[in-house]
Amino acid sequence: MEGRVTARGRARWFFAGHMVVTAASLLLLLALGALDVNVEDRPAWVLLGVMLALYVPAGWITARWQGWSRPTPGEGVRAVLLPALTAWAWALTGWGLVTLTPQSEVGMWMLLSTGLFATPSFFLMLLTLLHLATEPLWQPVWYLAMGLAGLLPPLLFVLGSILPKRRLTTAENVIN
With a cut of 60, say whether residue 66 has pLDDT above it: yes
**Whether pLDDT at 167 is above 70:** no
| Digit-coded pLDDT (tens) for 71-85 | 888 988 999 999 999
Whether residue 15 is contained in a domain is answered as yes
The band of 9, judged by pLDDT with boundaries at 50, 70 and 90, is confident
- Has residue 168 got a pLDDT over 80? no
Residue 156, pLDDT > 90, answer: yes
Residues 82-124: tens digit of each pLDDT: 999 999 999 999 888 888 877 688 888 988 898 889 999 999 9
Give the residue numbers spanning the domain of 93: 7-157
Q: How confident is the model at residue 166 (pLDDT cuts 50, 70, 90)?
A: low
Chain centre to alpha carbon of residue 130: 20
In a domain, 174, yes or no: no
Question: Is residue 61 included in any domain, yes or no?
Answer: yes
CA count, 13 A, side-chain hemisphere, 120: 28
**Tens digits of residue pLDDT in 32-41:** 776 666 656 6
Asked, for residue 167, whether it belongs to a domain, the answer is: no
Q: What CA–CA distance (Å, rounded) separates 10 from 14? A: 6
Q: Residue 172 domain-assigned? A: no
- To which H or E segment does residue 73 belong? helix 73-100
Check: CB of residue 101 under 8 Å from CB of residue 176.
no
pLDDT value of residue 1: 45
129-134 average pLDDT score? 78
Assigned domain for 131 exists: yes
1 belongs to a structural domain: no
The arithmetic mean of pLDDT across residues 120-146, rounded, is 83
Kindly give, in sequence order, each residue whose CB lies less than 8 Å from that of residue 115, ignoring residues fewer than 6 positions away: 122
Alpha-carbon distance values, 133 to 44, 138, 148, 167 (Å): 17, 6, 18, 49
Rounded CA gap, 32 and 55, in Å? 20
User: What's the pTM?
Assistant: 0.83
Q: Cα–chain-centroid distance for residue 91?
A: 14
Predicted confidence at residue 42, as pLDDT, reads: 72
Number of structural domains in the chain:
1
